[in-house]
Structure 1
C-alpha cells in the first residue's frame, strides 16, 4: 500500500544558521495604568490612577502601544482592529525566515524492538513567514522549512527526528489571542522521518502518518526565547508505505525553543 504522503526516506542534514531581522519583543511584565499616564491630568484622566490595564507594559509597545494602553483604560477605544494595528510591529514580516534551536530532555520513545527508552534530543527548526492570518485578532501563517533533532542511545545508536519531504503538511500559525498584554498562540505542524541506527532488523526509517502538532499557548514574543512547546498528542511512527504497521511511538516532546540571533 502506498502512503498518502509522498516522502523521501533519506533525510538531508539540517543546520540552523542565518541572520534574522530584529523583531521587537512583546510584553513580559505588568505595569499600572497610572504609570502610563504622565504629566498634568484633568479630572477624567485622574480617575485612571485608580485603574489598572491588566498587565500593560507600554514601554515594550513604544509610543503606539502607550497610546493604545491609555485609550483602552479610558474607554476611548474598543476596536480590536485598532489594537491589532498598534501591535503589528510585534509580528514578523512576510518572507522572513526564522531559525530556532530546540532542546528536549527525557523524551519518552516507545520502540518495538527496545521497549520504552528516554532520549535527550537537540537540534533546531526553521520557519518562513508566508502570509497574514485573517481570522480572530490576526497573526501570521508560517511554513516549517527545516527541522532536525537527534540523540545518541546506548542500545539504539543515533536516533534522528527530521522533517519529512512532503508537500501536504498544513501551514503552521502564529495567532494573536490577546491584545493587551500582547499574547500569541504558536502552533507548529510537522511531518517527520524517524531514523533509528540500530534495531534487530538493522537501521530503521519510519514516518508519522498523522501530522504532529506542537503548541505554546501563551507566547509573549516571537521569535521565542526559551519558550516551552508541547506535543498535543502521542505520535505513532510506521513503516513508510504501510501506515498500519506501527513500529515506534513518541509519547511526549517537551521542547525548549529559542531564536538563533
Structure 2
C-alpha cells in the first residue's frame, strides 16, 4: 500500500514537471512570434506562464502531499484539455492548408525534390548518353509524387501527435486527480480515527468520574452510618 502511494506520488511529480516544461517551452517559442493586432501571441504567452504557475503548484502539492493543490492542478489539466481542442483543430487545419500546395509552388522547381538540370536528375559524376524532355518530365512527376507522399506523412504525423498529446493530457489529469482523492480520503480517515480516539478517552474519563463519584457517595454513606451508630451507643443508659 505504501509502495503504491509512493509510486502515485512520483508519477504526479513527473506529470507536473512535464507540464511545467511544456508550458515553459510554449512561452519561450511565443517570443519568436511577430506582434499581431489581435494579441494572439501575447495571450498564448500569458496563458503559458499561467500554466507554469499551476504546474509548480502541482509539484508543491506532490511534495507536500496536499490534496488541495493537486486538485487545483488536475482540474487545470482537464479543463485545458477540453478548451484546447478548438485551437488544436485550427492548428491542424492551418498546417494542412500551408503544406497542401507545397509540392506545386514554383519555388520548389530547383529544390531537392524537382530536378532542374541533368546533373540534378541523375546525380553528379554520372555520364548520361541522352536525356529527352519526356524523361525529365517523368522524373519531375515522380519527384512530385514523392513530395506529396512526404507531405501527407507529415500531416498525418502532426495530427497524430496532437491527438496523442490530448489523450495523454486527459489521462495525466485523471491520474493526478485520482491521487488527490486518495490523499483526501486518507486525511479524512485519519481525522475520523483521531475523533474516535478522543471520544473514547472522553467516555472513559466520564466513566472514571462516575466511578469516583459513586465511591465518594458510598464512603459518605458509610461514614454517616458509622457516626449514627456511635451516637446511639452513647445515648443508651448504662
TM-score (norm 2): 0.24
Which one has a bigger Cα radius of gyration? 2
- Bigger proportion of residues as strand: 1
TM-score (norm 1): 0.22
